[in-house]
Structure 1
Amino acid sequence: MATTPAQAAEHARFDALVAEAAAVCVDGWDFSWLDGRATEQRPSWGYARAMADRMGRARAALDIQTGGGEVLASVPKLPPLTVATESWPPNIARATALLHPLGAAVVADADEPPLPFGDNAFDLVVSRHPVTTWWAEIARVLTPGGTYFSQQVGPASVFELVEYFLGPQPPGTRGARDPEKARAEAEAAGLEVVDLRMEKLRTEFFDIGAVVYFLRKVIWMVPGFTVEEYRPKLAALHHRIETEGPFVAHTTRFLIEARKTEARKPE
């Protein structure tokens, strides 16, 4: 069957969008490339602003899994001692270049226990979207009375997109990253959870290039994602977006704040 001019134009647009998204750099944690191509509703609590407020009152702070350092660099006033950890070499270089001029040190860390710091080293520990939260280590490096403040990915986040490519996921996978599990783990490590909130947020992808970029950058969504392996599904999704409008998914985020209880003085 001959290809119509409309089909040829759609195929050409698909190839151009995919090629563009496959070539762009995905280092760091800056999603500005998606401006105008995808939208994500933001949580009501304003993590970066709330984190900056806490940073302004801290003496020594640690940002775990800082990515490219973009969120930490947005803080107007860093504590006198500010340290960030990161494991991925391209992000380590990016964060170092961004944060060193601001007076923050970047430490290469494998994101596995133990954290490379002594006990009671920081009165504030923060982390935005950590892959794993090592609660016992966070409790160890916090000073008595110190605070852990984190925005994390919640359960089944953007799973409309995940399940489009991978098919239905088992309940254990869909239920992972439950905020109540985070509460239990924090309390088991000796921390008092003083705030815990979750929101479900609308996310839209306006073209297939945005999907490709997102899956290349957020690599745990569709593990091992490549354009070559998923080209037929990408082409079908491109047609769907072109004919029906944006692909809609839902992001889940939760905010958790936990405090290390003050050591009791002997009576």
Structure 2
Amino acid sequence: MSGAPEEAAAEAERARFEALVTEAATVSVDGWDFSWLDGRATEQRPSWGYARAMADRMGRARAALDIQTGGGEVLASVPKLPPLTVATESWPPNIARATALLHPLGAAVVADPDEPPLPFGDNAFDLVVSRHPVTTWWTEIARVLVPGGTYFSQQVGPASVFELVEYFLGPQPAEVRGARDPEQARAAAGAAGLDVVDLRAETLRTEFFDIGAVVYFLRKVIWMVPGFTVEEYRPRLAELHRLIETEGPFVAHTTRFLIEARKPDAGP
């Protein structure tokens, strides 16, 4: 009889694990809204306030492009959009979501594969923005900017949330950990003919309070653990669930950088 309480506790833990994982594996991950994680995970925000700073620049622009808009949530938060505002997106569910959200605000959404060339003519926009682009095509950005135009972007930095990545994939090579370095972005912008006028980076604390938050995050941010599925990683998920339940939140660190670059004014 002495083993009965332990067996009951173990069964309750298995049931909680299954419930958390099943919920997180079935909820929609369309768009770029992370509100499902409220109360289940926290992420420290960069000090520069990207959405607010981007909105300020939008309010002064005449023609603006938001590259890789996701579900359009950040662009939709801008109080005053430029007279001409266009967004691009590649993932069909996000295209539909962004269209429904942005068209009533007067912004057009263009389906684009996120590969060169951008589907716009030269010198089309005085402001190009992008929050967390997967890839930055610097030469294309320089091409579509008017002389004197600005590119403004918050990007994921090197080895972001790699405590979680390496928990599932093991230690990553130096070239993978060092990718997305802000100085690489500075050099690429310069090579495309843009002048970098601001470059800032921060490391920020992230906490996952239950295994459902981990599953949701990895389903949504698909490049963290490529090909992630619950069934493929069930043993590691169960192990991480026990770790969180006994020791508290799983702590990782996101890295972010802000970059602002300008296209030189045309000569006389």
TM class by shorter chain equals over 0.9
1:25 aligns with 2:23: no
Q: 1-side partners of 2:252 and 2:156: how far apart?
A: 14
Q: 1-side partners of 2:54 and 2:231: how far apart?
A: 40
Deviation at 1:138, TM superposition (A): 0.1
Structure 1 counterpart of 2:42: 39
Amino acid aligned to 1:210: A
Q: 1-side partners of 2:123 and 2:189: how far apart?
A: 17
TM-score, normalising length from structure 1?
0.98
TM-score, normalising length from structure 2?
0.98
Amino acid aligned to 2:205: R
1:64-97 CA distances to partner (integer Å, 9 max, x unpaired)? 0000000000000000000000000000000000
Deviation at 1:20, TM superposition (A): 0.2
Please give the residue correspondences for 1:95-244 in structure 2 after superposition, counting only pairs within 5 Å: 95-244=98-247
Deviation at 1:7, TM superposition (A): 1.1
SS at match of 1:164: helix
Please give the residue correspondences for 1:21-100 in structure 2 after superposition, counting only pairs within 5 Å: 21-100=24-103
Q: 2-side partners of 1:4 and 1:177: how far apart?
A: 47
Structure 2 counterpart of 1:14: 17
Q: 1-side partners of 2:54 and 2:8: how far apart?
A: 53
Amino acid aligned to 1:169: Q
1:255 aligns with 2:240: no
Q: 2-side partners of 1:202 and 1:11: how far apart?
A: 29
Moved more, 183-192 or 1-10: 1-10
Q: 1-side partners of 2:84 and 2:13: how far apart?
A: 54
Q: 2-side partners of 1:148 and 1:136: how far apart?
A: 12
SS at match of 1:183: helix
CA RMSD after TM alignment: 0.8
Unpaired runs of 5+ residues, structure 1, are: none
SS at match of 1:229: coil
Q: 1-side partners of 2:246 and 2:10: how far apart?
A: 12
Q: 1-side partners of 2:112 and 2:237: how far apart?
A: 35
Amino acid aligned to 1:186: A
SS at match of 1:19: helix
Q: 1-side partners of 2:177 and 2:95: how far apart?
A: 31
Unpaired runs of 5+ residues, structure 2, are: none
Q: 1-side partners of 2:266 and 2:139: how far apart?
A: 17
Q: Where do 4+ consecutive residues of structure 1 move more than 6 Å? A: none
Identity value in percent: 88
